Amino acid sequence: MTKLVKTADLYECNVPYLKDLFNESVYPWDMLGKIKGLCAKLIEDGIDGFSEIETGILVGRDVKIAPTATIIPPAIIGHGTEIRPGAYLRGNVITGENCVLGNSSEFKNCILLDKVQAPHYNYVGDSVLGNKAHMGAGSICSNLKSDGKAVVIHGDEDIETGIRKIGGILADGADIGCQCVINPGTVIGKRTSVYPLTALRGVIPADCIVKAMDNIVIRKA
């Protein structure tokens, strides 16, 4: 099973204001240090069909924001996205269309492509979530190693990122079960599903079912 980690192998970005970033980033974690700057540029230039509801917070059409949600700028919220009660956006958050940022969930320095769902008690920090990626209730993207050292991506070969904070790299269609822990720098391939209560690490190939880290099977066609 090939362990793909390049941006082009994990994502098909259809979000107009994110396409250049995805095209120029060889690896997904290369984007993390550019989110703040991109937010600033998009807010300054504006995006067609978006409105700046508060300084540094740009939202598209038909966005629903619960009164008890907290959004710290900068943030770019795509059309049709729902931000539910108690959601906490800590800044540097960019979403595509029709996402769900759920109740009592926290988001920080992250990108969510179209139709991402993180609907219940999730933590998504320093992470990139692909189209239709889903996080079950209570699942978190851990973004800092216990020793505080830079994250190494353990795929077919080790990649030294030089970055201390990298959370989850979830490809298009990745589906994470309830109460999973995605350890720093974990890459989950396209359309891969993960059973609940799994501690994930390393690079998990596309089209797999993860019952446990020592029990990964290829999804039947």
Closest C-alpha to 28, from 111, 108, 115, 117? 111
147: left (phi over 0), alpha (psi -120 to 50) or beta: alpha
Q: Output the pTM of the full model.
A: 0.96
Determine the pLDDT at residue 220: 82
Determine the pLDDT at residue 75: 98
Determine the pLDDT at residue 3: 87
| Strand-strand pairing, 208-212 and 215-218 | antiparallel
HSE of 136 in the Cβ direction (CA atoms, 13 Å)?
Answer: 14
CA distance 47 to 213: 42
Strand partners, 169: 128, 187
Angle at 57 between CA 56 and CA 60, to 5 degrees: 140
Q: Per the structure block, which two tokens stand in for 190?
A: 């396209």
Contact 190, 130 (CB under 8 A): yes
Contact 179, 136 (CB under 8 A): yes
Q: What is the mean pLDDT of each run of 10 residues along the chain (221 residues)?
A: 91 98 98 98 97 97 98 98 98 98 98 98 98 98 96 94 98 98 98 98 97 94 71
CA distance 51 to 187: 34
Contact 107, 125 (CB under 8 A): yes
- CATH code, 7-218: 2.160.10.10
Q: Per the structure block, which two tokens stand in for 211?
A: 């019952």
Strand partners, 181: 140, 199
Say if residue 72 is exposed, middle or buried (CB neighbours under 10 Å; 0-12, 13-18, 19+): middle
Determine the pLDDT at residue 2: 78
